[in-house]
């Protein structure tokens, strides 16, 4: 047997399915040259709870599946596969990749022709066709790490001295001898692994590819970057690279590597550099996240405050009742900012800061409701603090006009168009034959994502038919003519190599690319397995949506107020009245939610971050004998298909359990 393909999966079922479809095609190409038993595919599942194993058993019966009962980590799971593999070559492949049909054949031939080669990596592109620099890397010595951490590598990419981390001075379109291979695609000679050993299991995640690549070189072999085939890699980190968690996990893996392979002095130096990088990157990540959240409201606040000061000055000068009178500092520096903060809170409540929302409706609703609130409070104030009801009303009108104007100008600058409604419908083109086009179009129509499907592009230049816009030969021109936002490729009609070529040739950053596997109910197009907003699934209404988070918070507040009013009656229904009252106030201030996840398991399950719940998704069903998988599935279902109605059902069914501790 020539090749053993080993894939470790953890809760990325849809990426795994698409990956295996491409692997199946590449294995067939290999078998045409080396015989019917030239390859095997081994998938190790690290206790996924998303139905991955069931999918494997149903759709990929030829795959050898190992279902672990715990998440053993990347290294241990891969070693499980390597130990039972039979191939002359072993390929460690990420599930969030797509290989070309010729990838296995070309890389195996290269290894056959170069017996000194112990390992090989290939050219990788992301979900938009952009080259991924981690396709070729150098050894992260203290010097190399210093240049990378402090930005010199980015400033001087063509320098052989500063560009060693990603070997940016080497031509990405030529084959090169390199030091480090990327764990997303590591093709290795089995005899080399027998000599240098398997993956170091001290590395739970990250760093194990660097360690093994270096040991292959120490064992007398060479590593190569192979440019004559390429794969799509959706940059599938288990934690986002911009997240603080990723920074700590990745750089701590580098510390383990340094202590293992470098001298004590160099390891200590690298550890210091890495710890500096951790604090630097973590600080940047936190600051960036904070600035993104406050930038738009802060701009609105400043613009509204300036507008209100101008209105106040105009009122003082031109209103007869104000002759010789000016507004006191209390009004200018306390009440005016207070009015504006209430107006902005109204905007936030009605979704004006959500992405891809219409301009007028949320602003109008937010201003009207918050103005009504201000006027009610105003009427209850002492006469000394009632400065001007007219200023509030006219201020609300001016605020509405200012906020709408800001957003119109922003859209004109970014898209050169005036559109008062939502940026809702993406202009989508589907590259597929007529049958696949209808299937994909129907799939999109059943999701909550709004798309304006313009038509289809024929994979076959001579074909015509329903909604045909042209052939793939004119794809780049057609996307420009129709101002396309999104292109969906049918992998049934197009090879992965063709899809990559189209993405690279079009080279439009604003265009999103997605791939629809045959006979599946999903379309993948995320640049990362963590941003599955780009992943189309039937009937998905995730709790991560801004509208759902807002509705959940509104539900919590409304229920808390009602429970507080009826607490004299409800305290007797709960065994611990003080806990019940405490829970009401904790939900009101946002520390808890009435309904949350059960969390009755010790798994690294990637669920959305929500407040701890007094009750849980499991409280809808009367049972105390659930196993771990049941709790997990109930939580996943609650996260993926959230509704306020379900929260209400859970609450009404458990009025006597509102004294529980979250």
Least confident range of 25-34, 157-166, 223-232:
157-166
Mean pLDDT over 74-85 rounds to 93
Q: With bands split at pLDDT 50, 70 and 90, how would you rate the model's confidence at 277? A: low
Rounded-to-integer distance, Cα 604 and Cα 208, Å: 20
Same domain, 396 and 475: no
Mean pLDDT over 433-447 rounds to 83
pLDDT in the model for residue 226: 97
pLDDT in the model for residue 617: 82
**To 10 degrees, the CA torsion angle through 60, 66, 67, 70?**
-150
CA nearest 463: which of 499, 503, 496, 431? 431
Same domain, 404 and 444: no
Q: Using an 8 Å Cβ cutoff, are 425 and 437 in contact?
A: no
Of 187, 216, 232, the residue at which a domain comes to its end is: 232
Asked whether residue 382 is domain-assigned, the answer is: yes
Q: With bands split at pLDDT 50, 70 and 90, how would you rate the model's confidence at 190? A: very high
Rounded-to-integer distance, Cα 227 and Cα 515, Å: 23
Of 391, 414, 437, the residue at which a domain comes to its end is: 414
Same domain, 345 and 442: no
**pLDDT at residue 120 greater than cutoff 80:** yes
**Which helix (DSSP H) or strand (DSSP E) does residue 614 occupy?**
strand 613-616
Same domain, 45 and 180: yes
Residue 420 exposure: Cα atoms within 13 Å on the Cβ side: 9
pLDDT in the model for residue 124: 94
pLDDT in the model for residue 179: 92
Asked whether residue 219 is domain-assigned, the answer is: yes
Per-residue pLDDT reduced to its tens digit, 348-385? 888 788 765 678 888 998 999 999 999 988 888 888 88
The CATH number of residue 100's host domain is 3.90.550.10
Question: φ and ψ at 256, to 5 degrees?
Answer: -60, -45
Asked whether residue 250 is domain-assigned, the answer is: no
Rounded-to-integer distance, Cα 282 and Cα 243, Å: 8
Least confident range of 156-170, 284-298, 573-587:
284-298
Count up the domains in the chain and report the number: 4
pLDDT in the model for residue 505: 84
**pLDDT at residue 535 greater than cutoff 50:** no
123 forms beta bridges with 230
Q: Using an 8 Å Cβ cutoff, are 6 and 78 in contact?
A: yes
Per-residue pLDDT reduced to its tens digit, 500-528? 888 888 877 778 888 888 877 677 775 54
DSSP line for 180-232: B--TTEEEEEHHHHHHH-S--TT-SSSSHHHHHHHHHHHTT-EEEEEEEEEEE
Same domain, 72 and 37: yes
**Which helix (DSSP H) or strand (DSSP E) does residue 176 occupy?**
strand 176-178
- Whole-Å CA distances, 123 to 78, 185, 211, 228, 265: 22, 9, 20, 8, 35
**pLDDT at residue 622 greater than cutoff 70:** no
Same domain, 576 and 557: yes
Asked whether residue 328 is domain-assigned, the answer is: yes
Same domain, 550 and 533: no
Same domain, 497 and 643: no
Same domain, 523 and 615: no
Alpha helices of 467-532 — where are they, by DSSP H?
Answer: 475-481, 496-506
pLDDT in the model for residue 239: 39
Rounded-to-integer distance, Cα 395 and Cα 205, Å: 55
The sign of the dihedral angle between the CA atoms of 146, 152, 158, 162 is: negative
Domain of 640 in residue numbering reads as: 546-657
Count Cβ atoms below 10 Å from residue 420 Cβ, excluding itself.
12
Per-residue pLDDT reduced to its tens digit, 543-562? 767 778 888 898 899 899 88
Asked whether residue 479 is domain-assigned, the answer is: yes
Residues recorded for the chain: 662
Q: What is the DSSP letter of 163?
A: -
Provide CB contacts within 8 A for 177, sequence distance 6+. 222, 223, 224, 225
Asked whether residue 186 is domain-assigned, the answer is: yes
Q: With bands split at pLDDT 50, 70 and 90, how would you rate the model's confidence at 320? A: low
Q: Using an 8 Å Cβ cutoff, are 12 and 97 in contact?
A: no
Same domain, 447 and 512: yes
41 forms beta bridges with 5
Same domain, 500 and 451: yes
Of 537, 567, 597, the residue at which a domain comes to its end is: 537
Asked whether residue 316 is domain-assigned, the answer is: yes
pLDDT in the model for residue 467: 85
Mean pLDDT over 589-598 rounds to 90
Same domain, 560 and 485: no
Tokens at residue 526, please? Answer: 């995320």
The CATH number of residue 519's host domain is 3.40.50.720
Q: What is the mean pLDDT of the chain?
A: 83
Asked whether residue 463 is domain-assigned, the answer is: yes
């Amino acid at each position: 047997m020539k090749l053993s393909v080993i894939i470790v999966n953890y809760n990325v079922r849809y990426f795994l399915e698409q990956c295996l479809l491409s692997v199946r095609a590449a294995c067939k190409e290999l078998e045409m040259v080396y015989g019917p038993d030239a390859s095997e595919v081994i998938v190790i599942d690290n206790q996924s709870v998303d139905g991955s194993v069931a999918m494997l058993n149903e759709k990929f019966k030829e795959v050898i599946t190992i279902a672990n009962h715990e998440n053993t980590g990347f290294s241990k799971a891969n070693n499980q596969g390597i130990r039972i593999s039979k191939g002359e070559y072993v390929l460690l492949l990420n599930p969030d990749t797509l290989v070309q049909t010729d990838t296995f054949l070309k890389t195996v031939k290269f290894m056959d022709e170069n017996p000194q080669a112990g390992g090989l990596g290939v050219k990788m592109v992301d979900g938009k066709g952009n080259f991924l620099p981690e396709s070729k890397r150098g050894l992260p010595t203290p010097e190399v790490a210093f240049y990378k951490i402090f930005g010199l590598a980015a400033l001087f990419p063509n320098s052989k001295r500063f560009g060693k981390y990603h070997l940016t001075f080497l031509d990405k379109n030529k084959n090169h001898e390199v030091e480090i291979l990327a764990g997303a695609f590591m093709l290795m000679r089995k005899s080399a692994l027998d000599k240098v050993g398997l993956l170091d299991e001290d590395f739970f995640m990250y760093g194990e590819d660097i360690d093994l690549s270096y040991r292959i070189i120490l064992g007398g072999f060479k590593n190569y970057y192979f440019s004559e085939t390429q794969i799509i890699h959706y940059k599938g980190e288990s934690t986002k690279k911009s997240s603080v968690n990723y920074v700590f996990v990745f750089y701590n893996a580098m510390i383990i590597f340094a202590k293992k392979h470098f001298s004590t002095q160099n390891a200590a130096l690298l550890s210091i550099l890495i710890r500096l990088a951790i604090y630097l990157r973590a600080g940047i990540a936190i600051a960036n996240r904070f600035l993104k959240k406050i930038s738009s409201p802060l701009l609105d606040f400043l613009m509204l405050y300036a507008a209100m000061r101008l209105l106040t000055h105009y009122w003082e000068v031109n209103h007869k009742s104000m002759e010789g009178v000016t507004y006191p500092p209390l009004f200018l520096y306390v009440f005016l900012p207070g009015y504006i903060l209430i107006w902005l809170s109204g905007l936030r409540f009605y979704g004006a800061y959500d992405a891809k929302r219409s301009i007028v409706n949320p602003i109008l609703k937010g201003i009207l409701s918050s103005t009504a609130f201000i006027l009610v409070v105003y009427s209850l104030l002492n006469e000394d603090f009632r400065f001007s009801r007219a200023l509030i009303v006219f201020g609300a009108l001016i605020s509405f006009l200012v906020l709408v104007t800001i957003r119109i100008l922003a859209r004109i600058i970014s898209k050169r168009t005036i559109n008062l409604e939502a940026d809702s419908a993406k202009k989508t083109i589907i590259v597929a034959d007529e049958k696949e086009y209808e299937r994909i179009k129907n799939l999109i129509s059943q999701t909550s994502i709004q798309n304006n499907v313009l038509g289809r592009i024929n994979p076959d230049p001579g074909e015509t038919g329903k909604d045909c816009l042209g052939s793939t030969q004119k794809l780049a021109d057609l996307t420009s003519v129709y101002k396309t936002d999104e292109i969906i490729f049918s992998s049934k009609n197009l090879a992965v190599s063709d899809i990559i070529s189209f993405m690279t040739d079009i080279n439009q950053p604003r265009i999103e690319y997605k791939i629809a596997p045959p006979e599946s109910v999903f379309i993948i197009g995320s640049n990362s397995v963590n941003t599955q907003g780009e992943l189309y699934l039937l009937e998905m209404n995730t709790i991560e949506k801004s509208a759902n988070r807002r509705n959940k918070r509104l539900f919590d507040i409304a229920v808390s107020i009602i429970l507080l009013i009826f607490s004299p009656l409800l305290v007797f229904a709960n065994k611990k009245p003080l806990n019940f009252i405490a829970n009401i106030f904790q939900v009101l201030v946002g520390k808890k939610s009435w309904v949350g996840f059960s969390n009755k398991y010790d798994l690294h399950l990637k669920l959305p971050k929500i407040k701890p719940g007094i009750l849980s998704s499991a409280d809808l069903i009367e049972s105390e004998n659930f196993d771990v998988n049941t709790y997990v599935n109930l939580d996943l279902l609650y996260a993926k298909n959230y509704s306020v109605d379900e929260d209400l059902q859970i609450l009404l069914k458990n009025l006597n359990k509102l004294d529980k501790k979250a």
